Amino acid sequence: MATATTAGKSAGPRAAPRSFSARLMDGDQVAHLITFIFAASIMLITVLLVIVLWNHSVLPRNKFGLSFFTGRVWDPVAEQFGALPFVYGTLVTSALSLIIGVPLGLGAAIFLAELAPPKISDGLTFIIELLAAVPSVIYGLLGIFVVVPFVRTGLAPWLIRHFGFLPIFKGPCYGVSFLAAGLVLAIMIVPFIVSVSREVLLAVPRDQREAALALGSTRWESTWKVVVPFATTGILGSVFLAMARALGETMAVTMVVGNVTEIKTSLLAPGYSIAAVIANEFTEATGEIYLQALVELGLVLFLVTFVLNGLARLLILFTAQRGGTT
């Protein structure tokens, strides 16, 4: 009784005619609250991730500070942790995959959005989306038994013969290498570039194309000089998305990169990556600071991919809104 009157009072004179308890009886507020709690778990997990990664990497952060990222020596026995070889390997393999994957993906997206008839375009896009669903361990499997032998016996000798004077193609190649990892990653990120870029290109208003064609430009000129520039921000978004994926990829990279803690200029040399070292050493990490050093690498990976994905989403959203007038 008392609760009913206070509820009625607090609702104020301009409140809805139904009291709080009446709406509660309907169940709408309850449903609202319960579903909200489930949806908010997304925020909870994200916050939890940050707290866990931060709290479990205190020791190496206090001991090494920023030299964690500039040190070249990774010696768990001497408790010396410098992550530069892993950072270097991650950057090199990701950059390589983007150099190969972006032109390939953009080309395919242009074909699907501008040239192919809608039915064929939809069919091919479906196949390319299936490519994104292939588990990364399968890419690693093919990497070990197809890409690595191909690099060792075919690609690397050819590169050394013709471009051996360049420092990036120097030295012997045993197959497992930055190059092999870059190739495998390139195939893995292409589906992301294609599906996002295609949608962004399709969102470019039709008048833009027609205006370019009416001014006498060829099909390619209208595509390259009008449609693609119009969609640049969105395409950039797809590239960031792909980059985040390449940076965080674990299984495929660890299977073909060689897992050697060295910094070599040559792309034909074996190396290591951040995700790969976590995968390989986490279960064997003895000693608190060793484990925490690996968690700190995880924290780095988390922050970098978080920022990249955040930027990518904003860019894609921005383009979608600009092109969404049609």
Partner 1 sequence: MSAWAGSAHLKIRHGISYFMLGLAGLCALVVVGALFYILGYLMKNGGTSINLDFFTQLPKPVGETGGGMANAIVGSMKLLLLASLIGVPVGVIGGIYMAEFSGKISAFILQYTADLLNGVPSIVIGILAYTLVVLPMKHFSAIAGGFALGIMMIPITLRSTEEFLRGVPLALREGSMALGASKWRTIVSVVLPAAYRGILTAILLSLARVAGETAPLLFTALNNRYWSPGWNQPIASLPYMVWNYAISPYDDWHRQAWAAGLVLLAMVLLTNIVARVVLARGSNAMPR
100-159 residues in contact with partner 1 (CB under 8 A) are: 103-108, 110-112, 114-116, 124, 126-131, 133-138, 140-142, 144-146
Taking the alpha carbons at both ends of the chain, their separation in whole angstroms is 57
**Least spacing, CB of residue 233 vs partner 1, in Å:** 17
Of 11 and 144, CB closest to partner 1: 144
Of 6 and 21, CB closest to partner 1: 21
User: Does 190 interact with partner 1 (rule: CB under 8 A)?
Assistant: yes
| Under 8 Å between Cβ of 112 and 124 | yes
Which positions from 242 through 301 interact with partner 1, judged by CB under 8 A? Answer: 244-245, 247-251, 255, 275, 278-279, 282-283, 295, 298, 301
Interface residue with partner 1 among 31, 73, 166, 215 (CB under 8 A) is 31
Q: Of 250, 247, 304, 306, which is closest to residue 282 (Cα–Cα)? A: 250
* Stretch touching partner 1 by CB under 8 A, among 1-9, 21-29, 74-82, 162-170: 21-29
Interface residue with partner 1 among 8, 18, 28, 162 (CB under 8 A) is 28
Interface residue with partner 1 among 36, 163, 172, 229 (CB under 8 A) is 36
Residue whose pair of structure tokens reads 């609250």 in the numeric block = 33
Which positions from 160 through 189 interact with partner 1, judged by CB under 8 A? Answer: 187
CA pair distance 34, 13, nearest whole angstrom: 29
Q: Of 194, 13, 16, 15, which is closest to residue 111 (Cα–Cα)? A: 194
Distances (CA, A) of 29 to 5, 10, 200: 19, 17, 39
**Least spacing, CB of residue 207 vs partner 1, in Å:** 20
CA pair distance 225, 204, nearest whole angstrom: 13
For the beta carbon of residue 287, count every other beta carbon within 10 angstroms.
12
- For residue 58 the two structure tokens come to 């205190």
Q: Of 201, 2, 207, which is closest to residue 106 (Cα–Cα)? A: 201
Of 140 and 271, CB closest to partner 1: 140
Interface residue with partner 1 among 4, 15, 24, 52 (CB under 8 A) is 52
Q: Is 202 exposed, middle or buried (0-12, 13-18, 19+ CB in 10 A)?
A: middle
Which positions from 207 through 246 interact with partner 1, judged by CB under 8 A? Answer: 218-221, 223-224, 241, 244-245
| Under 8 Å between Cβ of 319 and 241 | no
Applying CB under 8 A, what is the total number of residues that bind partner 1?
A: 87
Of 159 and 275, CB closest to partner 1: 275
Of 60 and 114, CB closest to partner 1: 114
Q: Of 255, 263, 249, 309, which is closest to residue 280 (Cα–Cα)? A: 255
What string marks each residue from 60 to 99 as x (binds partner 1 by CB under 8 A) or -?
----------------------------------------
Interface residue with partner 1 among 6, 21, 41, 67 (CB under 8 A) is 41
